[in-house]
Structure 1
């Protein structure tokens, strides 16, 4: 009898210790740039739920992706491995084949007693990773239900536009894939879990196409929307490698030809407002679940997005619009041994950080063993002390040996052919004046170049078509 009591006591103690570990609510939004109220990227953005979250959170105002494309950015964040180390630079490269032994962030949590589940876009769609999850909805190989679409496409009239399109839909929110993803996550928050959870919620919008319910378009007066300020000579001082990335005669020329710029901005703002609404539903469910005090919330986006700045659309550049991302943490007081006071509410940190830093940060916050393969740095020192020393620039890579570095003041870009760009954000936040050719900045460029990767791995193999 005594032996049974001892065994039962050990089991109960183990259960209590497991429950003492913080939960993690891991929210990702696709293609969302700094057009949220808290970051001020667009004066007419309507993101009340994200803005309310920032009032509870510590917000990194200079957070940057490691690659301005969905697949390499997400692969880097989820493995803690830089694109320049893995060779995964592009959307067409299966990341798991390039890193067969990588332990992903949710796998690491599973190894340490967590239940890991998710829904929506966490990995790039063609390359899901079933081993990363105990449960994934709607299936381990399909990240979300399909969205409704207009009967005739493209609506904007741009020939061969494919997904590069925007229009309101006469459908309720419930028909949208992101709404159903949020429903599933909300359902998980309402359950009693026998293990601490790592719960991922991947919101797909504002990824193209910007087909969302009419009510989100109705939030904006299209005729009064502000367009990005783009000087005619914006690319005149850009090296050929940068102009090639910008492709000004591609999307931008077509948008202007078909008088779609204002309508496109309208579509992006509407899709962002729709995404914001889904995040709000999930956060309200967390508050109602009774688990908010035991749950760390991290919200991130995979990269930024151009809407005509530098005569470019989409991501796929090393400029600020492609590289900058929202990133925020909420850590309740008394939950994390590494941060006993929790995150400070409504605090903004201006140090340049990378999405690759999320992995080691969550491990430290949850008291888990470090992953020695991680190339990021824990952000806990900054979360604990906004004035903590942080001397590392944020690195963004697009294609092999093309890199951008961001310090608190400077953006330095060096392409594979050796050509350069340099911008002083203190005087030129729009990156309109390339200072790389000014000899007085030679020593600065060299100091920055010292932070570039020593390794530039060969390109990982492409997906077979």
Structure 2
């Protein structure tokens, strides 16, 4: 009898321990990568070598149709960190810090800090380092780009002497250790901070700058690829594309050695840049591996949700264009991988989801995960979808992009079709429309808007757009001057 009583007591104690472990507020680790489209092995890339990110995807859920709210750094990151869309915040450019306009908006680091979490920002998290700097208990700001080859260091010195903007060459492959470039140092800071905070509740954002320009990465990552095997993208712009839909080269034009007097970059330079983009991705992948290894070694993985995400997509020569700055599918669709704590992740490990999700959903997801009272947001928690990837979800995802002060591009996708209206910001009149099919590709080369054959599709997509952008509440009131 005594043995039975003792067994019951031990069993109850074990259940209590397990329950307390499950109820313990989880940690959160977010890898926030700059300018990364879904050019990853796990997403079917035929070229990118990304074993560590692929492993993470195999441990969690990979979202195949995740979208950002604007394909430019500052507004996209503000949207993630506040759970509010750019049209709610009224900020559409890289030049306006969040807190210069909104003093009272509740941000993710602010809320988590108020709820007893250690909040860590490493590298590029907000675009503007001044935003919410005091809300991070541990802050490692983004560092400037550096060059390691003597000839490139000399170029930078000459540019500075000439009083020009110190943007050096667009790529570099120095034979150096990972920490010679800033993303290697970011991984080092992350590992060291995890070691210090292993007994605390924490939310850590690790902001990797690559594959943003310049494509500077250690030579060993360049050596993973053969430049000559990269294909030159089709440089054709879509037929009947709205005249302001693309910016040809974006910020690439500002880098030393990039010609400004040609219609397209030559094949050799194009391949160098594509090579550099891939080398930078593999460099970031290695840093992800280091941080994940530390999480496992410190036995933190069992109670840490890990998110891998990007602030927007990117073009590496497609349409004859470069960088982001558009409403095109290739610029607004991004990788998103969510791996729950050990125990949870076993049920859904290696699953993929084609549900339409958005970066604006990250804030409410983390708030619900950690049991906090949620402020008003434009996004919705993804936890039900993470627990059951096959359930029915949203029918539309939306993004915006402004052209100057007076024109706004509003775009919606149902996962197969993308419909965009370019509107007068004051009158709301439609200045141009675009309809592209993306059932099997990120690229589409014919604008089907106005084509009678696709009138039903266009009407349906227009209706989806209108349900999100009400005419009287559309994304038109701007608090800053957008960048074209």
Structure 1 residue corresponding to 2:411, chosen from 399, 404, 407: 404
Structure 2 counterpart of 1:170: 175
Contact conserved, 2:90 with 2:478, CA < 8 A, in 1?
A: yes
Alpha-carbon shift at residue 235 of structure 1 (Å): 3.2
Structure 2 counterpart of 1:430: 443
- Separation of aligned partners in 2, 1:386 and 1:57: 11
Structure 2 counterpart of 1:135: 138
Alpha-carbon shift at residue 448 of structure 1 (Å): 2.2
Structure 2 counterpart of 1:262: 271
Structure 1 counterpart of 2:86: 83
- Separation of aligned partners in 2, 1:397 and 1:342: 37
Helix, strand or coil at the partner of 2:196: coil
Helix, strand or coil at the partner of 2:74: helix
* TM-score, structure 1 as length reference: 0.86
Helix, strand or coil at the partner of 1:91: coil
- Separation of aligned partners in 2, 1:427 and 1:294: 37
Structure 2 counterpart of 1:189: 194
Structure 2 counterpart of 1:38: 42
Post-superposition Cα deviations, 1:182-207, rounded to whole Å, max 9, x if no partner, equal 11111122235553111111111111
- Separation of aligned partners in 2, 1:249 and 1:84: 24
Structure 2 counterpart of 1:380: 383
Post-superposition Cα deviations, 1:362-400, rounded to whole Å, max 9, x if no partner, equal 11112222222x100111121122221213411111126
Post-superposition Cα deviations, 1:264-289, rounded to whole Å, max 9, x if no partner, equal 10010011111111111101111111
Alpha-carbon shift at residue 29 of structure 1 (Å): 0.8
- Separation of aligned partners in 1, 2:419 and 2:169: 30
- Separation of aligned partners in 2, 1:34 and 1:164: 25
Alpha-carbon shift at residue 114 of structure 1 (Å): 1.0
With over 3 angstroms needed to count, the CA separation of the structure-2 counterparts of 1:453 and 1:164, relative to structure 1, is farther
With over 3 angstroms needed to count, the CA separation of the structure-2 counterparts of 1:207 and 1:371, relative to structure 1, is same
Contact conserved, 1:330 with 1:343, CA < 8 A, in 2?
A: no
Contact conserved, 1:94 with 1:461, CA < 8 A, in 2?
A: no
- Separation of aligned partners in 1, 2:169 and 2:314: 13
Structure 2 counterpart of 1:357: 361
Structure 1 residue corresponding to 2:329, chosen from 286, 310, 320: 320
- Separation of aligned partners in 2, 1:307 and 1:362: 32
With over 3 angstroms needed to count, the CA separation of the structure-2 counterparts of 1:50 and 1:333, relative to structure 1, is closer
- Residues 191-270 of structure 1: pairs in structure 2 closer than 5 A: 191-230=196-235, 232=236, 234-243=237-246, 245-246=247-248, 253=262, 256-257=265-266, 259-270=268-279
- Residues 410-425 of structure 1: pairs in structure 2 closer than 5 A: 410-417=417-424, 418=430, 419-425=432-438
Structure 2 counterpart of 1:8: none
Helix, strand or coil at the partner of 1:402: strand
Structure 1 counterpart of 2:143: 144
Post-superposition Cα deviations, 1:93-115, rounded to whole Å, max 9, x if no partner, equal 22221221111112111111211
Structure 2 counterpart of 1:276: 285
Structure 1 residue corresponding to 2:339, chosen from 327, 330, 334: 330
* TM-score, structure 2 as length reference: 0.83
Structure 2 residue corresponding to 1:369, chosen from 356, 368, 373: 373
Contact conserved, 2:213 with 2:252, CA < 8 A, in 1?
A: no
- Separation of aligned partners in 1, 2:121 and 2:184: 14
Contact conserved, 1:318 with 1:397, CA < 8 A, in 2?
A: yes
- Separation of aligned partners in 2, 1:365 and 1:77: 16
With over 3 angstroms needed to count, the CA separation of the structure-2 counterparts of 1:461 and 1:429, relative to structure 1, is closer
With over 3 angstroms needed to count, the CA separation of the structure-2 counterparts of 1:296 and 1:429, relative to structure 1, is closer
Pairing 1:69–2:57 present:
no
Contact conserved, 1:403 with 1:452, CA < 8 A, in 2?
A: no
Post-superposition Cα deviations, 1:51-98, rounded to whole Å, max 9, x if no partner, equal 111110101111111110110100110011110111111111222212
Structure 2 counterpart of 1:445: 461
Post-superposition Cα deviations, 1:312-338, rounded to whole Å, max 9, x if no partner, equal 10010111111111111111255xxxx
Post-superposition Cα deviations, 1:252-308, rounded to whole Å, max 9, x if no partner, equal 946524841111100100111111111111011111111110111111110011011
Structure 2 counterpart of 1:6: none
Alpha-carbon shift at residue 27 of structure 1 (Å): 1.2
Q: CA RMSD in A?
A: 2.8
With over 3 angstroms needed to count, the CA separation of the structure-2 counterparts of 1:133 and 1:429, relative to structure 1, is closer
Helix, strand or coil at the partner of 2:423: coil
Alpha-carbon shift at residue 351 of structure 1 (Å): 1.2
- Separation of aligned partners in 2, 1:248 and 1:20: 46
